[in-house]
Amino acid sequence: MVTKQDLKDLISLPFNTMDRRPSFIPIESAHISGISYLNIGDAGIELLSEFSNSGFKVSVPTTMNPGFTEIIKVGQICSIKIYEKQKLIVDLLRKMGINPSLTCVPYFHENVPRPGSHLAWAESSAVLYVNSIIGAWSNKESGISALASAIMGFTADIGVHKSDGRKPKVKAIYEGSLMNELEAGALGYILGEVTGDRIPYVKAKGLTHNHINIIEFLAAFGTSGFAPMISIEGISPVRKLDIEIRDMEVIRISEKQIRSLIEELSSDEEPEAVVIGCPHVTLETIKMISENKKRFSLPTFVFTSSYVKDRVKETKLMDNIEKRGVKLIANSCVMWCGLKEMEIRTVITNSMKAAYYLKNQLNVKTVLKPLSDILGTKWN
């Protein structure tokens, strides 16, 4: 049996110091990560069952990250066992009142935060987006601390919940001009590695409000770094007084570093499939894919939310992309059971985050290409 005191401990323990427990701050919403059967396995199901059997319900709007498979119907690709285990996880969370959004970009439709609102979100790419682009306030919670906060309605009042905790500690300048989302991702990855847990103030030509560039940049930053936000010049809604860039260490990143990283992480093995949608793609990206005239010659898997997939199904877009050999997958992370079941060893992707996790979690190698190349080169 889990008690409310256990939940309070889960929220504050990571922030306790020898002589002090943090105070709490009310939250307006929560987002839970770590719900894929691939990551939490049977031990995670046991823990979630304990939470659910304790009769807890969330007290603020709460969404959930994607899982290991689609749960619309028993999949033809993934085994019934995996389907049933993933469905059980989702059902346990639903019983606690959590919206089965199953997406890592809930900030677009299912759980849109208000600028200035305090949140308890997990999923690093989403936390970075809500802090850096929307101007909401959330630390990088773990899946379990976000769940405890969602039930209690508050989180630890520390880190970026304080104005002081949002100030950049290092300035980063990109000396080239970013040409696409893959380069934006490579910049994010390098930046995360060199800044560690320090919030950077970033100046980069080519890093614009274009959704796909920003999303890939932030997701890659969250893969290698620990800071929960970035101040991006001309984009982030930061107040002047939050930026005191005088006397700050300055880091310069060059085009050469970006090119070498892409090369280093790119396999020269023959790809067997195309994987797009880490983080989940928006409707705009699906429209872009549907405008591509040629049929993909490799099996092509595009990952998105159920919300977007339902919109696609309402239009001719679904027909268009299916004719091009694209399978649109909702509810699932790109760390998808299908890649494992089909024994796919190398894929093409435009995502640095996918490249990192596919290699480390599924032992799948990646050929890195921007979406424009994937849509228009010899691979299609």
Side-by-side strand order, sheet with 346-349 = 326-330, 300-304, 273-276, 346-349, 365-368
Place of tokens 């049996």: 1
Output 83 or 357, the one with its CB closest to ligand F3S.
Answer: 357
Output 154 or 357, the one with its CB closest to ligand F3S.
Answer: 357
Quick one: which of 124, 227, 253, 220 has its CA closest to 167?
A: 227
Shortest distance in whole angstroms from residue 71 CB to ligand F3S: 15
Quick one: which of 145, 168, 119 has its CA closest to 16?
A: 145
Shortest distance in whole angstroms from residue 294 CB to ligand F3S: 26
Output 167 or 340, the one with its CB closest to ligand F3S.
Answer: 340
Output 28 or 123, the one with its CB closest to ligand F3S.
Answer: 123
Output 98 or 152, the one with its CB closest to ligand F3S.
Answer: 98
Output 238 or 289, the one with its CB closest to ligand F3S.
Answer: 289
Is the dihedral angle over the CA atoms 42, 46, 49, 51 positive or is it negative?
A: negative
Output 168 or 228, the one with its CB closest to ligand F3S.
Answer: 228
Shortest distance in whole angstroms from residue 68 CB to ligand F3S: 10
Shortest distance in whole angstroms from residue 280 CB to ligand F3S: 6
Shortest distance in whole angstroms from residue 255 CB to ligand F3S: 26
**54 phi and psi, to 5 degrees?**
-80, 0
Shortest distance in whole angstroms from residue 319 CB to ligand F3S: 25
Quick one: which of 328, 335, 330, 370 has its CA closest to 349?
A: 370
Are residues 231 and 201 in contact, defined by beta-carbon separation less than 8 angstroms? Answer: yes
Shortest distance in whole angstroms from residue 299 CB to ligand F3S: 18
**One-letter amino acid of 246:** R
Question: What angle do helix axes 37-53 and 80-95 make, rounded to 10 degrees?
Answer: 40
User: Which of the 8 DSSP states describes residue 285?
Assistant: H
Where does this chain bind ligand F3S (CB under 6 A)?
65-66, 104, 125, 219, 278-280, 303, 333-335, 353-354, 357
Are residues 167 and 248 in contact, defined by beta-carbon separation less than 8 angstroms? Answer: no
Q: How far apart are CA 336 and CA 273, in angstroms?
A: 13
